[in-house]
Amino acid sequence: MGPRRPPTAETPVIRTARIDDPLARPLLDELRREYTERYGSLGDSELSSVPAAHFAPPDGLLLLLVLDGRPVAGGAYRRHDARTAEVKRMWTASDSRRRGHARTVLAALERAAARAGYTRMHLTTGPRQPEARALYLAAGYTPGFDPAADPETLGPLPFDKVLAPAAPEDAPAAPAVRARAGTATRAGRADR
């Protein structure tokens, strides 16, 4: 196998970050604004409800998809229970939607969670987020609700997915090395 090409301006890069990383701020600010537009004050309380430490290794992780030096999508997981990671903070910048970025981030989160030893992903999304609902259904998540029902009558919409085992190249790293903030990958895979 030949040497890997360095990322170009058109190559999206997945990198780990902390919730308080300045690179994550534009996405989280837009997420807060849109949650507030869709849900009023409930949106702000949702974003404030989880301490930043929950999204840090070894139990959690935040990933950003960076294109041309700018974050265009991101997502995180935190520990839900010993075998389950909970997806949170999935977001795509409004000017970068419909390009598969969220699906790329979600797949990278799933691989990272499997490497961390999780066997299942869980999440809830709001009834006023039809694009999120469509993403999770398309990505193989099982709805914990009747998809034919009016989402507004259901409240938060739960989804679950059994994770594929980590591939040999994705075997868990030593805890001190696993998912260090600032580590960059291309297409969700570590550069080797």
What domains lie within the chain, and their CATH numbers? 13-187 (3.40.630.30)
Q: pLDDT band for position 44 (50/70/90)?
A: low
Q: Are strands 184-186 and 13-17 parallel, antiparallel or unpaired?
A: antiparallel
Strand (E) or helix (H) holding 136:
helix 130-138
Strands (E), the chain: 13-17, 61-67, 70-81, 84-92, 120-125, 142-143, 157-162, 184-186, 189-190
Q: What's the pLDDT at 151?
A: 85
At residue 58, what are phi and psi to the nearest 5 degrees?
-90, -10
**pLDDT higher than threshold 80 for residue 99:** yes
Q: Is the pLDDT of residue 177 over 80?
A: no
